[in-house]
Amino acid sequence: MKNLITKILRRIWTFKQPITKIPKGSKEVISDLFLWRNSDDWQTFFELIDVSGLFDTNNVKEENFVELVFFEADGSLILKKQIPVLKNKRETLDLSCFLLQAEGEYGTFSVFHSTTPLAVSQLGSFITERGYTSYKSKNSILRSYVHGNLDAVSFDGESISLLGARSFFNRKYNLQYLLDRPALYEFGLVNSTQYQRKVTYEVYSPEGGKLVEKKTVIIRPGGINIYALKMNEINTARVVISSSLVMARPLVFRTNQNNMDVFHG
């Protein structure tokens, strides 16, 4: 009986609440909503490869292209730009070249490939870009890399659709990392749903579970928020993120003197 109740509750919790939705059109292509940072303190780079050529080596075109699409933090469009991609080649893109019109210091971008290989379409699947973005802070010598995480948006050649799903219930996401000091932590959280979402960050001290800090923000559709937390006064802390996002898993930047790291939380 206990197992049956558990299964029923799990079904209720997950019913029509996928992490991401499947695109409506069979010829659409998919991308993550990657985070860009561009300021005197930050640079962002993207590793561009011909993903389509990896699946169809016999019939692949000599040259494909991708559609780069950049958004502000509020989800508004900055720029669309087609970039050629040669087969069996990799190119590191310095994204600052494309962000001259950007008003903010961070936002999101997507990478849509022009060709869906036959091997992919025959499986009823979609070509997807979830590659590697790298970041460099002014105080660090090396760049830090992180891969894409979600099927966040799709593109049919004309319009872009958000694929993120919302939960019927408010959920709590426990960051899978224990914060320590001294360091500056920045949590970049994307809203890939069609509606604005309220997100609450709660910071707890592990000693006794005391609430140290709480902040609530609104993230617009296709937008992103970066919440900064400086760890000076407490030794360690854990973060809980409450929202109606199915999985509110942020990108975490940890900066300490001349060291910087970025990872999925």
CATH 3.40.50 given to domain 166-264: no
The rounded distance, in Å, linking the Cα atoms of 86 and 34 is 22
- pLDDT for 15 equals 55
231 and 237 Cβ atoms separated by less than 8 Å:
yes
Domain boundaries, the chain: 29-162, 166-264
CATH architecture of structural domain 29-162: Sandwich (2.60)
Closest CA to 98 of 67, 130, 136: 67
The pLDDT assigned to 244 comes to 86
| 144-149 CB contacts, 8 Å cutoff, 24+ apart | 144/260, 144/261, 144/262, 145/262, 146/251, 146/262, 146/263, 146/264, 148/31, 148/32, 148/34, 149/32, 149/249, 149/251, 149/264
Q: How far apart are CA 112 and CA 115, in angstroms?
A: 9
| pTM (predicted TM-score) | 0.88
Q: What are 65-105's pLDDT values in tens digits?
A: 899 999 999 999 999 999 998 777 889 999 999 999 999 99
Q: What is the pLDDT of residue 76?
A: 95
Low-confidence ranges of the chain (pLDDT < 50): 7-9
pLDDT given for residue 223 in this prediction: 95
- Give the model's pLDDT for residue 52: 80
Provide the pLDDT for residue 9: 47
Which pLDDT score is estimated for 220? 96
Check if 29-162 and 166-264 are the same fold: yes
**Predicted local distance difference test score (pLDDT) of residue 8:** 47
What is the spatial order of strands in the sheet that 29-31 belongs to? 128-129, 29-31, 153-155, 160-162
